[in-house]
Structure 1
Amino acid sequence: MSALPGFTPISDRIFLRDGAPGPVAEPPSDSAADHPTTIIIFGWGDGLPKHVSKYADGYHKLYPKARVLMVISSIFAAIYDSLEQRTKSMIPIIDTVFPVAADDARERVLLHTMSNTGGIYAAAALNAFKQRHGEDKALPHFLSVSDSTPGGLEFSTEVGRWSRAMALGTAKWFPWPFAVTQGLWWAFLHTVNLIETAVGREPSGKYSCRVFLENSMATPRAPRLYMYSKADDLIGWEDVEAHAAVAQSRGYTTVLERFDNSPHVGHMRMHPERYWNAIERCWKASMALEAKS
């Protein structure tokens, strides 16, 4: 595992910044009392730690006393690994944030999910929480931020986008043209789809979208902020809005922040002020709702 300044690795794909394992201490009676205590960032597929960590830097400016956990994953693993494997890989997050108490009132968790790979591992973390603390428990959190996710689920119409995303992350490994790399991943995805159909295994993307719409898995206590773009060539804006509409119908408070010209997971880079303002605004709204409950 490569070293990442400011972070401590707690597994082969999870990094911890500015915090120690275990429940946080009782927050001080100042402005930080309404800030997140823990922020969990599920990075996009094949995102390098040094790039994903820029989001941790942004959160540190907003909430300097919050600890940040950052998850780095490959698209290949997100698609190929079983639910059991994905869940096992997220157990260190649960053991770090909720090692004993399944509903520690001192924790104010913010989930930040990026692209479909991030969503797949965020869903695995929800499942890991249940495995550790009981089927009647949903991972406690107060805001869920979805950046460039979720996309469509119909294999025949989405395989082109998925194979392109995988090619973008791996093209540097191969000497041949980009189109060849995408074609190889297209063939790989078709093979995985055939196997999953034959054995009756639920695809990871479908699983993640499904559980994030189930109150028993993803608590409706947490509002949903969707940040997406009409210029995203990997995730259709219509698919994001369709997911948000279903979430709204199932009791989730949803906020849509649509950009017009930013690429896939590029909204923060192109529109940093608007991006972080949206997160801060939604977090404050969530705390206001919690104060009234």
Structure 2
Amino acid sequence: MSSQEESEFIKLGADIYLRKANEEDAHDKQSPNIILVCGWMGAQLRHIHKYTKVYEQVYPGATQILIQNRPSFFWSTENTRRKVIAPAVEVLEALGTIPPQSPSLIMNSSSAKVPRILVHSFSNGGAYSLITLGKIMASRAGSSSPLKSSRFPCAIVLDSSPGGSGLSNAIHAFTTLIKNPITRVVAKVLVCLLYVYGFFVGPFIGRRTALQKVRDGLYNPRVLPWVDERTPRLYMYSRADDMVPWEQIREHAERTKSLGWNVRTEIFEDSPHVAHARTHPEQYWGAVKRLWDDALDVAHTKEESN
């Protein structure tokens, strides 16, 4: 991370970063005031910041929360994953997305504004972080009624996920960043063993693989406390993706749409995995902006119907 980026983002935990909004632009009621970015597995911060920089320019009045995803996140225990995500949960709680419980929050919840939330998740790693976050927030809300999605605009971007449940996809995803050839071979063997365990032993003991959890978790219309079937959801994927088969993403999108959810897709022909914005920036960011406009329309329609 550059020195400038370090000054803009506050490190809240091992993998959680916060950039506070530009208060001069916070008066814009048509833009998101919270942007949650869930990075892809193994992504370096300098690569994720290519997206946060665009958001800083397009929506300068938004507080940005960045969740980095390490490969170990997939193999960790549920308790460990929750500890990693916990700082992001506290920030979102302080920003008014669920009724606050902790008296010592990073931000003053009494001054929290009505949330307008844009969630941007990358690949299966980002989706796994997102699903874990949602589970924690649902448990923290407990018997308290979380803010209903009808009260404020919200939208979800799913870049290059869910999918990649095959063995070759798993090997590629978990070993492509390993430079040492010996370590890579060891990692491939480990992935193969875990794959066999997950798909042949797991079902008999009632356990699902991480990728199965990602796929099934995104079928939950309330994957986050403030969203539901009406929340605009955008699937972005490429036919040239060699890590997550585009057919699996399309299948997931088509099924959620058949259930009556508010779903749209943006298809790219030649961009690599999680590189659609780099390859086709106008198409990519245009789709994100249209999604947010849809979120505003949905929230306005709900208010009129209440």
Q: What TM-score do the two structures reach when normalised by structure 2? A: 0.81
Matched, 1:163 2:132: no
Verify the 8 A CA contact 1:14 1:69 in the aligned structure 2: yes
Identify which of 212, 226, 250 aligns with 2:235.
226
Identify which of 195, 198, 221 aligns with 1:215.
221
Indicate the residue corresponding to 2:20 in structure 1.
18
Matched, 1:151 2:153: no
Verify the 8 A CA contact 1:139 1:217 in the aligned structure 2: no
Verify the 8 A CA contact 1:138 1:217 in the aligned structure 2: no
Identify which of 2, 8, 11 aligns with 1:9.
11
Verify the 8 A CA contact 1:39 1:110 in the aligned structure 2: yes
What amino acid is aligned across from residue 12 of structure 2 in structure 1? Answer: I
Q: Structure 1, residues 12-65: CA drift from partner, whole Å, max 9, x if none?
A: 001111249xxx9xx52xxx2111111111101000011111110111111011
Indicate the residue corresponding to 2:105 in structure 1.
none
Q: 1:185 to 1:282 in 2, by over 3 A?
A: same
**Per-residue deviation at 1:203?**
1.9
The 5 A counterparts of 1:16-55 are 16-19=18-21, 28=27, 32-55=28-51
Q: Structure 1, residues 178-229: CA drift from partner, whole Å, max 9, x if none?
A: 6x36633433533652664564322222222222212343422321111100
Matched, 1:122 2:122: no
Verify the 8 A CA contact 2:164 2:170 in the aligned structure 1: no
Identify which of 184, 202, 206 aligns with 2:212.
206
What amino acid is aligned across from residue 189 of structure 1 in structure 2? Answer: L
Indicate the residue corresponding to 2:103 in structure 1.
none
**Per-residue deviation at 1:70?**
0.9
Distance (Å, rounded) in 1 between the aligned partners of 2:246 and 2:291 = 20
Q: Any stretches of 5+ residues in structure 2 without a counterpart?
A: 100-111
Q: Structure 1, residues 151-181: CA drift from partner, whole Å, max 9, x if none?
A: 144xxxx111111111112x22x14496x36
Q: 1:139 to 1:204 in 2, by over 3 A?
A: farther
Indicate the residue corresponding to 1:235 in structure 2.
244
Indicate the residue corresponding to 2:102 in structure 1.
none
Indicate the residue corresponding to 1:87 in structure 2.
82
Over the residues paired in the alignment, what is the CA RMSD in angstroms?
2.9
Distance (Å, rounded) in 2 between the aligned partners of 1:147 and 1:257 = 9
Distance (Å, rounded) in 1 between the aligned partners of 2:193 and 2:46 = 28
Indicate the residue corresponding to 2:189 in structure 1.
184
Distance (Å, rounded) in 2 between the aligned partners of 1:91 and 1:177 = 31
Q: What count of residue pairs does the alignment treat as equivalent?
A: 279
Indicate the residue corresponding to 2:63 in structure 1.
67
Verify the 8 A CA contact 1:111 1:145 in the aligned structure 2: yes
What amino acid is aligned across from residue 173 of structure 2 in structure 1? Answer: A
Distance (Å, rounded) in 1 between the aligned partners of 2:261 and 2:84 = 27
Sequence identity percentage: 27
User: Equivalent residue of 1:70, what SS?
Assistant: strand
Q: 1:292 to 1:197 in 2, by over 3 A?
A: closer
Distance (Å, rounded) in 2 between the aligned partners of 1:269 and 1:162 = 24
Q: Any stretches of 5+ residues in structure 1 without a counterpart?
A: none
Verify the 8 A CA contact 1:129 1:139 in the aligned structure 2: no
Verify the 8 A CA contact 1:46 1:75 in the aligned structure 2: yes
Verify the 8 A CA contact 2:67 2:88 in the aligned structure 1: no
Q: What TM-score do the two structures reach when normalised by structure 1? A: 0.85
Distance (Å, rounded) in 2 between the aligned partners of 1:95 and 1:285 = 28
